Amino acid sequence: MTRKPHGDFLRASRWYAASVAGRTNLRVVRPNMEPSLEPSLPASATPPPPDAELVIAARAGDRRACFLIWSKYAAMVQRLVRRFLGPGPDYQDVCQEIFMRIFKRLGELREPAALAGFVVSVALGVARNEVRRRRIRSIVGLAPVETLPQVPVSSQQGEAREALRALYRLLDTLGPEDRSLFIARFVEKMEISEVAAAHDLSLSTAKRRLARLVERVNARVKASPVLREYVGPIGQGGGT
């Protein structure tokens, strides 16, 4: 790999001039760096390599491949986490933890091309753990339950905002696993096979648990006037 010239004479000169003032006439100007020395990341004009290549390179310790994986999936992970937890102040920390876990566990990925599913799987797992942590914190009194999660107040209409608040309350009553299944299946619109893979379940088990989840959610919707009103006539029938 070629090396470009550079130096730190500027600061050395400045420092020297300050330390031996009067002894020298060293110039204090910013070094004229070559254009090619300017920081070039994260700009990248070329399309990123396929996932399989990125995974192989990242496993070999290529930091640039890690960066490309992050830049490709950061938005998706962030969106998933915010939907899972609700937009709180610390979702960035959760996202960071997710990518740390992804890069640590890349060696477990049997099929490098299946990176997207792997990312979702890890993201859901970390989000579940975060929900558990929040529950424990609420139990020991470190954080009141009603503040978790906070409900967005952006452009939602009043009814939808109330429904959203009620929905998060409903999700809080589910276990982390069921919450994760709900997010994967009904929010991220994943196929059942993808849901099964992301939760390390067999297809049949995933179907059974989803069916139970649907029943449970419907039962709680019926018990919630806000949600019952929000879903309208389709919520009146019940059954699966």
Partner 1 sequence: MKDDRTPAQQVCERLGDLLTAAVPDEQRAPDTRQWTAIEVELDRHGARRWWRWPALATAALVLVTSGTWLIARRPLAYRAEHCALATDGTLTAGGAGAIAFTDGSTIALAAGTRLHVEPLPYARGAEIALDDGEATLTVIHRANARWAVTAGPFRVDVTGTRFSVHWSKRRGSFRIAMQEGEVHVRGGRLAGDTILRAGQVLASSTGEPVPAPSTEAPSPSPPADAAASPAAPPPTRTAPPPWRRKTADPRETETPHPTSPALPELGPQVRPLPIVPTPSIPPPGEPSSAPRPSGPRRITIAPDGSLGNGISGFAWVAAAPATTLSSPVTSEEGASLARLAPKDGELCVSGTMAGLHCVNAGLPSVRCNWRHNWGVQIGFLIKTDQSAWGERAPNAIAVDYHGRSNTYRLNVHRHGDPDAKLYCIYDYESGKAAKPSMFKTECWADTGETLPDFESVDSFNLMLPSGMEYAAFRYCVSGIRLLP
Contact call for residue 212 and partner 1 (CB under 8 A): no
Binding status of residue 1 toward partner 1 by CB under 8 A: yes
Nearer to partner 1, 103 or 143 (CB): 103
Name residues contacting partner 1, limited to 38-77 (CB under 8 A): 38-44, 61, 63-64, 66-67, 70-71, 74-76
Nearest to 124 by CA among 114, 112, 116, 113: 116
Question: Which is nearer to partner 1, 144 or 239 (by Cβ)?
Answer: 239
| CB-nearer residue toward partner 1: 142 or 147 | 147
Using CB atoms within 10 A of its CB, is residue 228 exposed (0-12), middle (13-18) or buried (19+)?
Answer: middle
Q: Which region, judged by CB under 8 A, interacts with partner 1, from 112-120, 121-129, 132-140, 149-157? A: 149-157
In the set 113, 116, 142, 160, which binds partner 1 (CB under 8 A)? 160
Q: Which is nearer to partner 1, 15 or 113 (CB)?
A: 15
Q: Should residue 221 be labelled a site residue for partner 1 when binding is judged by CB under 8 A?
A: yes
Query: What Cα–Cα distance (Å) separates residue 25 from each residue in 12, 16, 17, 18, 21?
Result: 13, 10, 7, 11, 9
User: Which of 187, 203, 204, 225 is the binder for partner 1 (CB under 8 A)?
Assistant: 187
Evaluate the omega torsion of the peptide bond into residue 149 and state whether it is cis, within 30 degrees of 0: yes
Shortest Cβ 98–partner 1 spacing (Å)? 10
CA angle 163, 219, 210 (to 5 degrees): 95
Count residues near partner 1 (CB under 8 A): 89
For residues 196 and 206, give the distance between their C-alpha atoms in angstroms, rounded to a whole number: 5
Q: Which tokens in the block code for residue 34?
A: 């070559």
Question: Which of 18, 139 has the CB closer to partner 1?
Answer: 18
Alpha helices in the chain (DSSP H): 9-19, 51-59, 63-85, 91-104, 115-139, 158-173, 176-182, 192-198, 203-222, 225-231
What distance in Å separates the CA atoms of residue 153 and residue 161, rounded to the nearest whole number?
A: 7
Site for partner 1 in 71-130 (CB under 8 A): 71, 74-76, 78-79, 82-83, 87, 92, 95-96, 99-100, 103-104
- The yes or no reply on residue 175 touching partner 1 (CB under 8 A) is no
Q: Is 224 in the site for partner 1 (CB under 8 A)?
A: no
